[in-house]
Amino acid sequence: MTEATPSPGPRWQHALSLLATFFRVFAPLLLVMAGLALGLLSLTSDQRTYYSNNYTGSAGPGNATIDLPAVSPGLLQVTDVTGACELRVYPATDAEAIRFNQTGALPASWFGCSNRTVTTSGQVAHLILLNVASFSIPYEINVVAYSVTVPLGWLALPATALVLLGLISFLPRMMAGEIMRFRDEFGRPKKRR
């Protein structure tokens, strides 16, 4: 005599139905939320100081050049601590410094007493000091170079995959539900009064 396995009761069927609904509806949304969380985490940056130096001296009438260490920082912050308004500081790349030495053409951007700090992300390798006064001006210029990296940037790939997977599995179900509601609303004959 074989024993029949008992069929799951109504409670089990209801629980299984709820679980299936959860996986059909909420699991794709959880995938999207997990993907967005990983995407935000992938944007965190790590900032370290490459070098920091204080340049002091006296700039005579005309121009002078300060050569910076040969590294390529992510950000370079230059602060004119004590220079007078007649002293302009031009952050320059190697090409701009060569062009200045050959033709006298200064770089487009500069700073002085109205804005004493500039932060740039270019390949600044020189600071050109231009003294427009007829006397020497003492200066103190603080230069800090930062390395900016995104160590968790690789998380953007699985984050994108999770968001796309969640959207691909959720949007068709949502659209099917909207289509069914549309059919229900416009497919019914209107009641006459």
Q: Give 142-164 pLDDT, tens digit per residue.
A: 888 887 778 888 888 999 998 99
User: How confident is the model at residue 4, as a pLDDT?
Assistant: 53
Which tens digit of pLDDT belongs to each residue from 49-86? 878 888 888 888 888 888 888 766 677 778 777 766 78
Tokens representing residue 166 in the block? 């969640």
| Residues 89-98 as b or e (16 or more Cβ within 10 Å = b) | bbbbeeebbe
Look over the chain and give the mean of its residue pLDDT values, rounded to a whole number.
78
User: How confident is the model at residue 45, as a pLDDT?
Assistant: 81
- Cross-strand pairs, 140: 56
Q: Are strands 87-92 and 62-67 parallel, antiparallel or unpaired?
A: unpaired
The CATH T-level fold of domain 46-149 is: Jelly Rolls (2.60.120)
CB neighbour class for 182 (10 Å; exposed up to 12, middle 13-18, buried from 19): exposed
> Do the beta carbons of residue 67 and residue 125 sit within 8 Å?
yes
| pLDDT higher than 70, residue 109 | yes
3-class SS string, 110-125? CECCCCCEEEECCCCC
DSSP code at position 104:
-
| pLDDT higher than 60, residue 6 | no
Give residue for tokens 């959860």: 22
| pLDDT higher than 80, residue 180 | no
In the chain, domain spans = 20-44+150-170, 46-149
What is the C-alpha separation between 42 and 91, in angstroms, rounded? 32
Q: Fill in the amino acid letter for 118.
A: V
